Structure 1
Amino acid sequence: MDSKKDLSGKTVLLMAIATGIIVANLNYIQPIEGLIATSFRVSKAAVGVVAMLTQLGYAFGLLFIVPLGDIFNRYHLIQIMLGLSILSLIVAFWSPSIVIFGIASLLVGITSVAPQIIIPYAAYLAPNLHQGKVLGNVLSGLLTGILLSRSVSGLLGSVLSWQYVYLIAAIACTILLFVLHAYLPRDPREQQNMQYGKVLASLPKLLAQEKHLQGAAINGFCLFGVSNVLWSTLAFYLAAQYHLGSNVAGLLGLLGITGVLFASIIGRLVDEYSPRMTIGLGIGFSTLAFVIFASLGHLLVGLIVGIVLLDLGTQFGQVSNQAIVQSLNSQASSRNNSLFMFSYFLGGSLGTFFATFAWSHFGWTGVCSVAAVFLIFALLGHLILKEPKKLQKTS
């Protein structure tokens, strides 16, 4: 397979499934933190640090590994990273101490960045007129993996020793590795004559030169930050307002299926209209969500409606921004994606930090105020920075 014509519906489905299976590795730890703490006889705070190491490892992987997609054959690079991920999961399963488990968790994060190599690879292989649809379908798989990983991990942890969560994940990734080796399209590009150090050094210059990448990075930073403002404080609010536990917060998280169902539709809207229009919708949905949280958050139905709208807003932004990022210089697509996703997760981390601080000092009103700040910056960035001309639709 050596051309864009080879990107069939089955191939797109395979890429979507692959991103979901691999990204799930990042979230398995969250529902079983208590079981891990008991097993290693450490505090829950210590396990929380380990969970943070997984996310930190992912951030490092985004910056230092994903750009390799612009140098090396992506068909091989995806499989190499998946193989290393399998080894990391096996070490996590075997870990005899919290220290070794912490190192394994860091490695799981670093090596689970293959989805962010697959996404620009899918965009590169897709026909230009259908790039948004392809990205929407692949991102549906990514969202499904994030959505289901917590439920799967919690279920397995309730019937098996928590270590088997990582063993089963390693087995799933091993099966995926053989399938990808057989059916993933070969990279049609010639070997790139670039040095790794120069590629990393080019990241700041690339961001400074690409105004459209700046716009996508700012919007992704803000909209994912807004999303995490809610999810980092929802359990606290449910306990204070309704006297409900974190298990209910997990159930409410299943409302994220809305984003999965709409990802492909959003992708088609991007193709038919423009990312600028759909990003505007994303900001609008997210803003409406927090208006409802602030005014009707004391009602459970208000929370449910707001969560659905917020998830739609986040998904509109993610698919639209990826369409912009992948429309830029194809020779730097992996580096573009690396910069965008790093900004995306940086916004999420800061959203979590500021929302938690606001909750501790100002309660739900403070949380909604933090979201308002993120949304104002998202709107300003949207008004100031335009989209690439090649994505602008003419009537």
Structure 2
Amino acid sequence: MDRRLVVLFAIACGASVANLYYAQPLLDRIADDLDVSPGAAGLLVTASQIGYALGLVTVVPLGDLIARHRLVAPLMTLCTLALLGAAAAPNLPVLLLAVLGVGVTAVVAQVLVPLAGALAADHERGTVVGTVMSGLLIGILAARTISGLLAAAAGWRTVYVAAAGLCALLGIVLHRMLPRLPAADPALTYRGLVRSLWPLVRDEPVVRRRMVYGALGMAGFTVVWTSLAFLMAEDYGKGEAETGLLGLAGLFGAVAALGAGRLADRGWAHRSTGSFLLCVALGWALLWAGGESIAALVAGLVLVDLGMQGQHITNQSTLYALRPEARSRLTTLYMTGNFAAGAVASAFAGVAWSAGGWDAVCLVGGGLALVGCLVWLDEHLRAHPAAARRS
């Protein structure tokens, strides 16, 4: 696969999914500006996650029914309009509705990732998907830094105006440059497409395992980043710019996770998954100490992001090798589980912060990490060695 196209995919995926996360370091500022409580402002994260989950269920499966490149331009256009709506929102209900629309249309990233998997040769699929997914994950983390700095300089609404401009520009470039591939299974109807989702879960144990790992990883990831703005504002007395800069710590983890796709290509997916899950658990131990130490907080963010992103790339590389004709549907199943878990976790994060501050947040996140390690250990002990290598 042409490396220039891989880079374009990575940038487009990163910019698209970044739209879901611009609000996270701005929650305290948005709450003050719109005169709502921090808990109510935290619903912006929930709305974006719910919107993304809706888009995954209703839009992404179409990639197995019609040519994927035909979905990209309309989604980018609608996302641009939703971002402009967020920038102009006069109150929280309107902002929530706009953010919900951003979430639905930001699933264009999950149209592009299976397309990258289809364009890549078998021997490089894990590497290509890993590169594209790293771009996506770097976009998530860079979104917090960029939005924090831009909001500090020009206000939080400017963030959404800039995001709309970038989305429009990328939509034009993608429309011109995307390869024109035929649909994976044009004989299917939309109803048949939706009905085929459950049999994929029922018949493929690898799908079920990877969905569990992904959901637990996204839940923990969302808990820490939803609560971080409150920790920085209330315990450290810092604003959105400093909170956004913490996203740079996660970038180190994203870069380190680039190798996850190569490990999957070499047949080490099972062992690397266990290692990445352990990284997340160790990261939460450091984050707990981060309530009183910035150094521990930064180190914990690096480990949590490394572990979450590494196992996420491994999960998708494994799934795309499983059923080539159903990559969009597998993406729907996997990512819907992730973002449904993220939506629930963002709400729990606000409750945990209100109930017990940072200690309660770390108890929730650490518990999720421990569950992930136990699930992997159970799989490792039960599985035949050949099955373990396959998964």
Q: Sort the TM-score into its range (normalised by shorter chain).
A: 0.7 to 0.9
Equivalent position to 1:145, from 135, 139, 149: 139
Residue type of the alignment partner of 1:265:
G
Q: Deviations over 1:5-48 (max 9, x none)?
A: xx211110010011011112212333445665566566665544
Equivalent position to 1:119, from 107, 113, 133: 113
Equivalent residues of 1:73, 1:191 under 8 A apart: no
Query: Which residues of structure 1 form unaligned runs of 5+?
Result: 1-6
TM-score (norm 1): 0.86
Pair 1:91 & 2:98 matched: no
Matches within 5 A, 1:1-395: 7-33=1-27, 36=30, 46-95=40-89, 98-160=92-154, 162-189=156-183, 192-237=186-231, 242=236, 247-294=241-288, 298-362=292-356, 364-385=358-379, 392=389
Equivalent residues of 1:24, 1:145 under 8 A apart: yes
- Which deviates more, 325-334 or 230-239? 230-239
Distance 1:68 1:228 in 2: 27
Count of matched residue positions in the alignment of Structure 1 and Structure 2: 387
Among the aligned pairs, what percent are the same residue? 36
- Which deviates more, 165-174 or 26-35? 26-35
Shift of the 191–220 alpha-carbon distance from structure 1 to 2, 3 Å rule, reads closer
Residue type of the alignment partner of 2:320:
Q
Equivalent residues of 1:75, 1:187 under 8 A apart: yes
Distance 1:54 1:265 in 2: 29
- Which deviates more, 221-230 or 347-356? 347-356
Shift of the 63–317 alpha-carbon distance from structure 1 to 2, 3 Å rule, reads same
Give, in angstroms, the shift of residue 295 of structure 1.
6.1
Query: Which residues of structure 2 form unaligned runs of 5+?
Result: none
Distance 2:40 2:345 in 1: 22
Shift of the 384–70 alpha-carbon distance from structure 1 to 2, 3 Å rule, reads farther
Distance 1:152 1:369 in 2: 29
Equivalent residues of 1:267, 1:319 under 8 A apart: yes
Residue type of the alignment partner of 1:132:
G
Distance 1:109 1:296 in 2: 31
Give the superposed CA RMSD: 3.0
Equivalent residues of 1:139, 1:263 under 8 A apart: no
Equivalent residues of 2:61, 2:193 under 8 A apart: yes
**Counterpart of 1:194 in 2: which secondary structure?**
coil
Equivalent residues of 1:233, 1:359 under 8 A apart: yes
TM-score (norm 2): 0.87
Distance 2:286 2:152 in 1: 35
Equivalent residues of 2:264, 2:318 under 8 A apart: no
Shift of the 89–349 alpha-carbon distance from structure 1 to 2, 3 Å rule, reads closer
Distance 1:146 1:175 in 2: 19
Q: Deviations over 1:262-286 (max 9, x none)?
A: 2322222222342112101101211
**Counterpart of 2:19 in 1: which secondary structure?**
helix
Q: Deviations over 1:223-253 (max 9, x none)?
A: 2223333333344555676555565443223
- Which deviates more, 142-151 or 209-218? 142-151
Equivalent residues of 2:22, 2:159 under 8 A apart: yes
Shift of the 354–51 alpha-carbon distance from structure 1 to 2, 3 Å rule, reads closer
Distance 1:315 1:84 in 2: 28
Shift of the 10–391 alpha-carbon distance from structure 1 to 2, 3 Å rule, reads farther
Distance 2:291 2:30 in 1: 33
Residue type of the alignment partner of 2:301:
I
Residue type of the alignment partner of 1:284:
L
